[in-house]
Amino acid sequence: MSFDAVRPKPPALPPMPLGRGLRLALIALRVLLGLMTVMAVWAFIKGLG
């Protein structure tokens, strides 16, 4: 059974103006997650050293 059938559909997004902000938010989130991953790996390596 696919998860798409279980999960409720998200509400339809309003047109353009939100799109740019949403894209920027996704980019910022990705950068933040990457930074946290780097910090975690760095702490792990430092702990081993």
The reported pLDDT for the residue numbered 20 is 82
| Share of residues in the chain with pLDDT > 90 (%) | 47
Distance between CA 9 and CA 16 in Å, rounded? 20
What is the band of 49 on the pLDDT scale with cuts at 50, 70, 90? confident
Mean pLDDT of 13-36: 84
Mean pLDDT of 28-43: 96
Farthest CA pair distance, the chain: 52
What amino acid occupies position 19?
Answer: G
Averaged pLDDT of the chain = 81
Tell whether the torsion through CA atoms of 29, 33, 35 and 36 is positive or negative.
Answer: positive
